[in-house]
Structure 1
Amino acid sequence: MSDVPGRDGRWLPLGRQLARLRVAAGFTQHSLAPLLHYGRSTIANVEVGRQRAPRRFWERCDEVLDADGQLVAAFDQLQRLRRETGGRSWAAQGFSETPQVRLLQLEPTEEQEMRRREFIRATAALAVCGAAPATSTTGRRISLGDVKEHARRTVRLRRLDNYLGGADTLRHYEAELRATMSLFNTASFGSSTAKALLALLAEQTQLAGWAAFDAGDHAYATALFTASRPIAVQAEDVALAANALALLAYLRASLGKPDIATAEASSLPVSADVNPAVRALLYDRLAFTYAVAGEEKRAGAALNAAHEALSKARLDTPPDWAAWVDHDEVQIMTGRVWSELRRPLRAIPELEVALRRLDDAHARDKALYSTWLAESYLDAGELEQAAAILDRSKRLCTGVGSPRPAIRIAVVRKRLPPYQDEDAGACREVSL
């Protein structure tokens, strides 16, 4: 990263475009910094043309702001212009102002603008919470007991995820999130109640993000996961803040775009006082990212850490959002990780045992996880067994409001030439 004395007019339009995209996405420079893995001052200097940034900075901005490569394309064009002019400033070439340089695709298309509006809607919670005082004196007075009642409703709603897909649950989670936001904006409460409300908002935002991810709306899910982290930080809930990053990394890895930096940023120090289930969940998702990236040694170490975390007894109960993490869940992830790494002799025993214990009532999860078992049988050369598992997965996910099992079935089925023409679309198609 190199500093530029004063302002360099060539780079100012690109910096301003970053500022526009950042504001449209609902970020402050402070909240965007940890997601880019750059400091707030760097973002501020880049936006006003005082500092140049390398290409990897713009790649990260495009990814986090969902800008479809606009900023990288503009950066590349400016680099070409700089080479053509020998690196001289515009003033040195006799221009009093920056020439009209057409930055590639800086004006969003109609489709991109719609997605950004969805992003703004998703990050409304961040805007509300970021501007809120530690205590509120407006409206009726509420206590921690009131917040706990709202939290109990969220616990009951979360149980829907065991049996329904995100297309069915998202509207319920959004409604509960709106109710909590309304309470936060209109009620009166003390500082301890404020923290509890913020933690609940962060948790509900992540729950809605999970449903959006499960329903196939990845841009909306990314927005919700991103919005939840600053809320959790303000609530001083380190576990929820870490989970926001873990969810983002898991989403990207599931799309075949492993983001190791974000996954590793979700790790908590050994000194952090969190329940073992939380730590196991974070290691679980980190292992999956490593596996998709082909990092076998690091994936294995993360899995070992997840198993070790669950072996430590604690008297306290885990938070509800991590209470489902047990030895069976870690065993399933262990099988998925070894399957991703094309190690069928390690993957098959883990998946066979764990899936046998998973009730068919959990149809989406069982159908989805079984696709990794089928893939491992393919890697082991057992085509007929793989085909039988895929057929069972297809039957299981019929009517489930999530496209994820069907997508995985289709991906694995492509490796079975005799079965390519069979319909893998029995899982309910979701209109997004």
Structure 2
Amino acid sequence: MEDHGRLPPSPPSADLGNQLRVARKAAGHSLATMAALTHFSKPYLGHVETGHRQPTPEVVDRYEQVLGVPIGVARDPVRTAHEWLCNSQPPAGRPPRTGRRLGTTQLCRLEARVIELRHRDDVVGSRELLPVVRAELDAVCRLADDAVYTDQHSIRLHTVIAELAQLVGWIASDAGYYRHAEQAYLTGAAAADTAGNRVLGGQLLSSLAYQITNIGNREDGLLIAKTAVAGAVDATPVARALLLERLAWAAARCHDPDTCRRALDAVDDAYDQRSPGISEPEWVYWLNRAEIDVMAARCHIQLGQPAAAEPLLTRALADYNPDHVREVGLYQTWLAEGYARTGNHDAARHTLDQIDTSAVDAGSVRLQRRIHAVNRLTTTGSH
């Protein structure tokens, strides 16, 4: 049976319990501390870590949120990215089956629903939106398993699955559910491969690279980001600019200034090639010059050039949609970090004080971690 988006199987409970224990110890937490941080009892977590009790998704999620690392992902993302890069075969036809026929009208509704949910993510918190999008993805995966449809409809249906999986991954990552996010990205990459959509596959792997770069092995993140760019050879200008942005960020996180600068230059070149006559995928609707400036500023800060970041961030924030509270808050944390790393701690603290934390209350662990990280800079005076 085709992999339509089902999450890969979890590791055996003993192996997963051991991974939880190793991650806890690597962070320097005792079992008692972990119990207090996760709100599970110490005896229960002891049984989970030794494999005597099955780790539930809630336990794994809370470990990930506390420790800030993905745990228990069943597939190797670097291997998956390499296999994707090497696979250029067109999607295989589906064997005949019986069941409810999927029509064009229903497909159009599904495609419109993906766009609706994607734009809703701009203004709705992760805690509220994640279960909605997860349920939508599960329903479409069941449809792909059970319905009858043509090869052309199969391409469109698996494109919907891939785009929903990308959205699930993005929202889950924002909420701190890194394991679920990684699984969703890998699931989406498989669906995009079934649809024969290499650019969308690159988008899924690029999104995964972004998460791994931020909270996992940075070198792995950089390798996957490079793979996504190399494999999406038919990317339209704005889509290519997006993939290159994530490559630039991964390079900056790996302290590779040459690769970062080349990628940022390529972002500008790609974005300048956009044209009304070129149809871009809808999922790049948000990428504009302000977003490109924000990423460039973040890279400057990461590479130890914070003074170059301030004008880029100030200009981007001046015209940013205030309804997009989470993104505004995130970009304000980067402005504050830029101030802190140039020694202007008063400006950094003032900028942090201006942040609307309602996105944190709505489930954005990403914004919460950024605020805490920059707060530490302003209180320790670190550069």
TM-superposed deviation, 1:336: 1.1
User: Are residues 347 and 174 of structure 1, via their aligned partners in 2, closer, same or farther at CA, if it must alter by over 3 Å?
Assistant: same
TM-superposed deviation, 1:400: 3.3
TM-superposed deviation, 1:204: 0.8
TM-superposed deviation, 1:170: 0.6
Partner deviation per Cα, 1:315-358 (whole Å, 9 max, x = no partner): 13321222211211111111111111121121111111111111
Mapped to 2, the partners of 1:413 and 1:106 lie a distance apart of 33
Equivalent AA in structure 1 for residue 239 of structure 2 = V
Mapping for residues 224-263 of structure 1, pairs under 5 Å: 224-255=184-215, 257-258=217-218, 259-263=221-225
- Residues 1:288 and 2:249 aligned together: yes
Mapped to 2, the partners of 1:224 and 1:109 lie a distance apart of 28
User: Are residues 136 and 347 of structure 1, via their aligned partners in 2, closer, same or farther at CA, if it must alter by over 3 Å?
Assistant: farther
Structure 2 match to 1:68? 19
User: Are residues 142 and 408 of structure 1, via their aligned partners in 2, closer, same or farther at CA, if it must alter by over 3 Å?
Assistant: same
* 2:241–2:271 CA contact under 8 A, matched in 1: yes
Mapped to 2, the partners of 1:120 and 1:341 lie a distance apart of 31
Partner deviation per Cα, 1:57-94 (whole Å, 9 max, x = no partner): xxxxx9xx9983999xxxxxxxxxxxxxxxxxxxxxxx
* 1:24–1:116 CA contact under 8 A, matched in 2: no
TM-superposed deviation, 1:121: 12
Bigger share in helix: 2
* 1:209–1:222 CA contact under 8 A, matched in 2: yes
Equivalent AA in structure 1 for residue 345 of structure 2 = L
SS at match of 1:273: coil
The list of structure 1 runs, each at least 4 consecutive aligned residues, that deviate by more than 3 angstroms after superposition, is 22-26, 65-71, 105-123, 394-400
Structure 1 match to 2:370? 408
User: Are residues 172 and 269 of structure 1, via their aligned partners in 2, closer, same or farther at CA, if it must alter by over 3 Å?
Assistant: closer
Which among 71, 85, 102 is matched to residue 142 of structure 1?
Answer: 102
Mapped to 1, the partners of 2:111 and 2:252 lie a distance apart of 35
Structure 1 match to 2:339? 377
Equivalent AA in structure 2 for residue 205 of structure 1 = A
* 2:100–2:146 CA contact under 8 A, matched in 1: yes
SS at match of 1:198: helix
* 1:136–1:189 CA contact under 8 A, matched in 2: no
Partner deviation per Cα, 1:17-45 (whole Å, 9 max, x = no partner): xxxxx97449xxxxxxxxxxxxxxxxxxx
TM-superposed deviation, 1:111: 6.6
Partner deviation per Cα, 1:114-162 (whole Å, 9 max, x = no partner): 4899999999xxxxxxxx9625532222234431221101111111111
- Residues 1:389 and 2:351 aligned together: yes
Structure 1 match to 2:326? 364
- Residues 1:298 and 2:249 aligned together: no
Structure 1 match to 2:179? 219
User: Are residues 389 and 269 of structure 1, via their aligned partners in 2, closer, same or farther at CA, if it must alter by over 3 Å?
Assistant: same
Q: Which consecutive residues of structure 2, in runs of 5 or more, have no partner in the other structure?
A: 1-6, 23-47, 62-70, 76-91
Mapped to 2, the partners of 1:145 and 1:293 lie a distance apart of 47
Q: Give the root-mean-square deviation of aligned CA atoms.
A: 3.5
Structure 2 match to 1:162? 122
The count of aligned residue pairs is 321
User: Are residues 252 and 363 of structure 1, via their aligned partners in 2, closer, same or farther at CA, if it must alter by over 3 Å?
Assistant: same
Mapping for residues 8-19 of structure 1, pairs under 5 Å: none
- Residues 1:308 and 2:269 aligned together: yes
* 1:137–1:189 CA contact under 8 A, matched in 2: no
Q: Which structure carries more relative contact order (alpha carbon 8 Å, separation 6+)? A: 2
Deviates most, 396-405 or 220-229: 396-405
* 2:73–2:182 CA contact under 8 A, matched in 1: no
Partner deviation per Cα, 1:344-379 (whole Å, 9 max, x = no partner): 121111111111111221110110121111111111
TM-score (norm 1): 0.67
Partner deviation per Cα, 1:165-221 (whole Å, 9 max, x = no partner): 222211111121122122212221111111111111111111111111111111111
Mapped to 2, the partners of 1:120 and 1:109 lie a distance apart of 17
Mapped to 2, the partners of 1:208 and 1:244 lie a distance apart of 11
- Residues 1:350 and 2:301 aligned together: no
Q: Which consecutive residues of structure 1, in runs of 5 or more, have no partner in the other structure?
A: 1-21, 27-61, 72-104, 124-131, 420-432
* 1:208–1:224 CA contact under 8 A, matched in 2: yes
* 1:284–1:302 CA contact under 8 A, matched in 2: yes
Larger radius of gyration: 1
User: Are residues 155 and 235 of structure 1, via their aligned partners in 2, closer, same or farther at CA, if it must alter by over 3 Å?
Assistant: same
Mapped to 1, the partners of 2:306 and 2:106 lie a distance apart of 50
- Residues 1:265 and 2:227 aligned together: yes
* 1:140–1:188 CA contact under 8 A, matched in 2: yes
TM-score (norm 2): 0.75
Equivalent AA in structure 1 for residue 283 of structure 2 = W
Mapped to 2, the partners of 1:172 and 1:373 lie a distance apart of 33
Mapped to 1, the partners of 2:116 and 2:74 lie a distance apart of 23
